[in-house]
Amino acid sequence: MKEQVASEAQEVSRRLKAAGHEAFVVGGCVRDILLGRDAKDWDVATSARPEVVQGLFRRCIPTGIAHGTVTVLVGKTPIEVTTFRGEAEYSDARRPDRVNFGVTLEEDLARRDFTVNALAYDPIDDRLVDPFGGREDLAARRLRAVGDPAIRFREDGLRVMRAVRFVATLEMSLDRSTEAAIPGALDSLRKVSAERVRDELVKLLSAPRPSLGLRVAQRTGILAVILPELAEGVGVVQNRFHASDVWEHTMATVDNTPGDAIRRLGALLHDVGKPRTAAPKVDSPSEQTFFRHEAVGAEMTDAIMRRLKFSNRERERVTAMVAHHMFWYSPEWTDATVRRFVRRVGVDLIPDLFALREGDVRGRGRGEDPEVELCELRARVHAVLDEDQALSIQDLALDGEDIMAALGIPPGRRVGEILRALLERVLEDPSLNERDRLLSLAAEIHAERGQQSGT
Ligand code: ATP
Ligand code: MG
């Protein structure tokens, strides 16, 4: 397996060993090699103290000296070199109070979270160290805590999030007693910062099938801690168009929505407003209606993403996905309807909305082909965009200044009203978008509204 270790990591190990220290690649990168995946980052564990590591390599960054970590740069590749350490008390379920150096590799591996992450490999002597049966667990695709899971989960609240993340990304099942320890450790999870929870959630959503981890999060109570609004959807039955309850439909939608983790978050939250808007259908009380669930859901999404400290940009993107996911295309849409649709949702959101619709239709589990609807709408949207026609007030052949000058009116609400009315006309008939025609239309609109409001 030596060939699978990046030459830069081998180089660092060789140098440390030549100076008389122990050195192993360790943790996630060893796990990924054994799984035949590309390792994302390289971690080296060594018996050398941080000051010694810094003395051995010309280019290093003292990333986390207090915790024994030095980032060594080999060419452009950063290698995290960490001194073997044991961990003492965790009094706050977040960070260990202090770390002890001067321990063995086995002790260092014992502080790691899961057996599959507690593997070390010496690429120089081609030696794998696996004190907790990580290799066997990898082969069985079983995620198991190192040591007593109840203690390990309580000492660091993030570990339960890592557990469900790895269930999804590594497509492993959670060992029974490891899973059984989660409900008793949720108080530790509540102490973890929103940013760290968010980062794990994003990694989970990058897995091919996020539902693998989300289902474990639901049944162990993690979901109720981090996203209680979503837990409300369990058991909320829908109607003849959906084969499953809101939660099951959500799981299927997330897995079937192609794209990045933020788009998947939009899929996860698209129906979050349903439980709170559910009402029995008048003529068929066994079915539910969810009137305005997209608007309620958008508000809830905004609050959830503020709480989890997502960036404004990500929050606005996902909230808009939720708000606009209920469009109903039919071939009767006129070109003006298509233009209005594009204007309402915004050009940038369209790929997200179409991907969500694909996941939503597949997630209904009735074997429908989302392309029946999307193919035609996609083509019509492209046609509208290609024609370069006005889709927003900025695209009009005049602006507010022109209107004020021509009509002799001061800045104010009326100018905006006229611009919006002009855009409506232009969306209906793009040939109107010429300065002179718009000016005479503006005069008409001003006169009509003036009469209505009596001014
Ligand atoms: P990836 O890098 O693919 O996200 P990883 O397992 O490498 O996954 P890192 O955060 O890079 O995760 O951590 C590297 C190693 O450090 C892990 O494999 C594990 O051995 C150990 N580790 C990380 N976080 C924890 C934790 N919260 N508790 C115990 N050990 C941890
Ligand atoms: Mg890693």
DSSP 3-state assignment of 153?
helix
24 sits in which H/E element: strand 23-26
43, 112, 206: residue to mutate for ligand 1 pocket, most atoms within 8 A of CB: 112
Summarize the confidence of residues 224-233 as an average pLDDT.
Answer: 95
- Stated length of the chain: 455
- Indicate whether residue 159 lines ligand 1 (CB < 6 A): yes
113, 172, 204: residue to mutate for ligand 1 pocket, most atoms within 8 A of CB: 113
Q: What is the per-residue pLDDT across 395-429, written as a single tens digit (0 to 9) for each? A: 899 999 999 999 999 999 999 999 999 999 998 89
> If we measure between CA atoms, which residue out of 113, 121, 107 comes closest to residue 43?
121
pLDDT higher than 60, residue 453: no
> Please, how many CA atoms are within 13 Å of residue 16, restricted to the half-sphere of its CB?
31
Which tokens sit at 92?
A: 């706050």
Q: What is the DSSP letter of 2?
A: G
CA of 43 to the centre of ligand 2 (A): 7
pLDDT higher than 50, residue 173: yes
What is the position in ligand 1's atom list of the atom closest to the CA of 165? 4
Residue 454 confidence class, pLDDT cut points 50, 70, 90 = very low
CA of 325 to the centre of ligand 1 (A): 36
Q: What is the DSSP letter of 192?
A: S
Q: What is the per-residue pLDDT across 22-56, written as a single tens digit (0 to 9) for each? A: 999 999 999 999 999 999 899 999 999 999 999 99
- Angle (CA) 9 30 172, round 5°: 150
Whole-number pLDDT of residue 102: 85
- Indicate whether residue 85 lines ligand 1 (CB < 6 A): no
Whole-number pLDDT of residue 88: 64
Whole-number pLDDT of residue 96: 66
Summarize the confidence of residues 323-345 as an average pLDDT.
Answer: 93
Residue 285 confidence class, pLDDT cut points 50, 70, 90 = confident
Report CA 60 to chain centroid distance, whole Å. 32
pLDDT higher than 70, residue 10: yes
**Interstrand relation of 284-290 and 69-74 (parallel, antiparallel or unpaired):** unpaired
Q: Which ligand is nearest to the CA of 82?
A: 1
Strand partners, 174: 143
- Indicate whether residue 155 lines ligand 1 (CB < 6 A): no
* Encoded amino acid at 308, one letter: L
- Angle (CA) 126 127 129, round 5°: 155
- Indicate whether residue 317 lines ligand 1 (CB < 6 A): no
**Interstrand relation of 23-26 and 99-100 (parallel, antiparallel or unpaired):** unpaired
Whole-number pLDDT of residue 40: 86
Contacts of 454 (CB under 8 A, 6+ apart): none
Contact between residue 262 and residue 317 where contact means Cβ atoms under 8 Å apart = yes
- Burial per residue of 199-237, b for 16 or more beta-carbon CB atoms within 10 angstroms, e otherwise: bbbbbbbebeebbbbbbbbbebbbbbbbbebbbbbbebe
Task: Give me the residues near ligand 2 (ion), CB cutoff below 5 Å.
Answer: 28, 41
250: number of Cβ within 10 Å: 26
Whole-number pLDDT of residue 54: 95
Whole-number pLDDT of residue 403: 95
- Indicate whether residue 96 lines ligand 1 (CB < 6 A): no
Alpha carbons 135 and 203: distance in angstroms, whole number: 23
What is the position in ligand 1's atom list of the atom closest to the CA of 29? 7
Q: What is the per-residue pLDDT across 205-218, written as a single tens digit (0 to 9) for each? A: 999 999 999 999 99
CA of 220 to the centre of ligand 1 (A): 22
Contacts of 194 (CB under 8 A, 6+ apart): 307, 308, 309
Q: What is the mean pLDDT of the chain?
A: 93
- Indicate whether residue 358 lines ligand 1 (CB < 6 A): no
Summarize the confidence of residues 64-80 as an average pLDDT.
Answer: 93
Summarize the confidence of residues 233-253 as an average pLDDT.
Answer: 84
The percentage of residues in the chain with a pLDDT greater than 70, rounded to a whole number, is: 96
pLDDT higher than 90, residue 263: yes
Q: What is the per-residue pLDDT across 183-203, written as a single tens digit (0 to 9) for each? A: 999 999 999 999 999 999 999
- Angle (CA) 10 14 19, round 5°: 155
Least confident of 5-14, 276-285, 353-362: 276-285
pLDDT higher than 60, residue 455: no
Q: What is the per-residue pLDDT across 91-113, written as a single tens digit (0 to 9) for each? A: 676 666 667 888 999 999 999 99
